[in-house]
């Protein structure tokens, strides 16, 4: 058995007891939102993630690792949304900052998006966000916060590389 399959099989075995929360996805979502926080009026945004988590919970072939990944995905996005909304509330000038001609690089894995980011970032006038910055957006991270965010991003990337080596990403 290849190492990735063995790691995935072991992880599924270990996570099986925790996957019982699939039977109550709304309760799992409520726990996530309680920790992440939610800005007033942000319910339409967060409710979409509630529906997404319900959908994933009902998927017949979703493994325990898949359920853990689904919850982590929702948690990460809701936590980041709450963080960004707090930053905007604390620093209203953020919304007034002009953004002229933004460039968005999107694509499926293995389609040269990383190469494209690299080429664009060669310009002194442009900067591509680093993986850890995308996973933990914020303003002026202290050295400790930065180290914590980088460590967390490395673990995320390492997990992706372990469980889905065909979609291997670069280290943050």
The answer to whether residue 152 sits within a structural domain is yes
Range of the domain at 114: 107-172
Q: Looking at residue 28, what is its pLDDT? A: 92
Residue 130 DSSP class = P
- How high is the mean pLDDT in each 10-residue block of the chain (172 residues)? 75 74 88 88 90 93 87 91 90 91 86 87 81 86 90 87 66 48
Number of Cβ within 10 Å of residue 66's Cβ equals 17
CB atoms within 10 A of CB 118: 12
Residue 171 is predicted with a pLDDT of 47
- CB neighbours of residue 76 within 10 Å: 17
Residue where one domain finishes, among candidates 36, 69, 98? 98
Determine, yes or no, domain membership for 126: yes
Question: Is 30 in contact with 78 (CB distance < 8 Å)?
Answer: no
Q: Are residues 52 and 93 in the same domain?
A: yes
| Same domain (yes/no): 69, 111 | no
93 and 117 housed in the same domain: no
Whether residues 25 and 91 share a domain: the answer is yes
Rounded alpha-carbon distances, angstroms, from residue 19 to 11, 57, 132: 12, 9, 27
In a domain, residue 56? The reply is yes
Shared domain check, 67 and 24:
yes
Tell me the whole-structure pTM to 2 decimals.
Answer: 0.75
For position 29, what pLDDT does the model report? 94
The answer to whether the CB of 59 falls within 8 A of the CB of 65 is no
- 3 found inside a domain: no
Q: How far apart, in Å, are the Cα atoms of 157 and each of 28, 41, 67, 94, 130?
A: 24, 33, 18, 29, 12
Pair (155, 93) in one structural domain: no
29 and 93: one domain?
Answer: yes
Q: Answer yes or no: is 143 within a domain.
A: yes
10 falls within a domain = no
Boundary-marking domain end, from 40, 68, 98: 98
What's the structural domain count of the chain? 2
- Length of the chain measured in residues: 172
Q: Say yes or no: 72 and 138 in one domain.
A: no
Last residue of a domain, one of 48, 69, 98: 98
Tell whether 62 is covered by a domain.
yes
Rounded Cα distance, 85 and 79, in Å = 10
Asked if 30 and 87 sit in the same domain, the reply is: yes
């Amino acid at each position: 058995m290849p190492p990735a399959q063995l790691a995935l099989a072991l992880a599924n075995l270990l996570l099986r007891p925790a996957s019982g929360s699939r039977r109550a996805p709304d309760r799992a979502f409520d726990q996530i939102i309680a920790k992440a926080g939610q800005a007033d009026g942000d319910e339409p945004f967060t409710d979409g993630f509630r529906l997404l988590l319900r959908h994933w919970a009902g998927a017949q072939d979703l493994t325990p690792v898949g359920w853990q990944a689904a919850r982590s995905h929702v948690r990460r996005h809701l936590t980041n949304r709450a963080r960004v909304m707090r930053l905007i509330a604390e620093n209203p000038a953020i919304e007034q900052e002009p953004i002229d001609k933004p460039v968005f690089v999107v694509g499926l894995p293995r389609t040269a998006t990383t190469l494209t980011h690299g080429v664009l970032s060669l310009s002194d006038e442009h900067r591509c966000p680093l993986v850890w910055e995308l996973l933990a957006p914020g303003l002026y991270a202290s050295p400790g916060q930065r180290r914590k965010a980088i460590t967390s991003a490395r673990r995320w990337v390492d997990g992706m590389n372990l469980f889905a080596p065909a979609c291997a990403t670069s280290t943050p």
